């Protein structure tokens, strides 16, 4: 499924795990965080790359909003297309790591991961999950850590 059906009117990011304020976070609530726009390079493991203009909230600001446990080591996400990914907390809190909702000054379209995706300039493209549905803060990585990592690619996926 390349572009999963997501009901934008009902969508909210479900947050749980080692956080003080678990629950559903709407796109409007995420958009209320300080807005960051950056032109960064997206690098695909298949050999292509592109410069894009991405806008969103710093993942670190969102983690502060939900009260992420400062001792937790990871975040995990699941997506509307059954993709799943995890990041170490240092990557999640890196200042350029975004919960991205706009691309080229317009809301993300379905093909680019609407309504919300990870945008991680320090990672290969397969770490940048699209169509986010859940985000959990955790002390231990789950058995299913990373869609491509579980198939033999590097879990870290760094540039």
Over residues 127-145, the pLDDT tens digits come to 999 999 999 999 999 999 9
Q: Is residue 159 part of a domain?
A: no
pLDDT, tens only, 65-110: 999 999 999 999 999 999 999 999 999 999 999 999 999 999 999 9
Inside any domain, residue 1: no
For residue 88, give its domain range: 13-150
- Determine, yes or no, domain membership for 5: no
Total domains, the chain: 1
What does the pLDDT read at residue 2?
64
Tell me which long-range contacts 150-156 makes (C-beta under 8 A, separation of at least 24).
Answer: 153/45, 153/126, 154/124, 155/86, 156/88
Query: pLDDT averaged over the chain?
Result: 96
85 domain-assigned: yes
Tell whether 46 is covered by a domain.
yes
The number of CA neighbours under 13 Å toward the Cβ of 114 is: 14
For residue 110, is it within any domain? yes
CATH number where 21 lies:
3.90.420.10
DSSP state of 91: H
pTM for the structure as a whole: 0.96
Residue 146 belongs to a domain: yes
Residue 157 placed within a domain: no
């Amino acid at each position: 499924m390349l572009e999963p059906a997501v009901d934008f009117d009902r969508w909210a990011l479900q947050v749980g795990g080692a956080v003080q304020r678990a629950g559903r976070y709407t796109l409007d609530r995420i958009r209320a965080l300080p807005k960051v726009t950056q032109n960064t390079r997206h690098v695909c493991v298949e050999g292509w790359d592109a410069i894009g203009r991405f806008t969103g909230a710093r993942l670190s600001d969102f983690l502060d909003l939900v009260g992420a446990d400062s001792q937790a080591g990871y975040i995990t996400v699941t997506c509307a297309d059954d993709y799943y990914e995890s990041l170490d907390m240092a990557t999640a809190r890196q200042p350029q790591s975004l919960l991205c909702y706009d691309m080229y000054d317009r809301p993300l379209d379905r093909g680019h991961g609407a309504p919300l995706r990870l945008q991680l300039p320090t990672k290969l493209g397969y770490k940048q999950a699209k169509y986010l549905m859940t985000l959990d803060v955790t002390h231990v990585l789950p058995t299913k850590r990373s869609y491509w990592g579980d198939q033999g690619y590097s879990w870290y996926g760094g540039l």
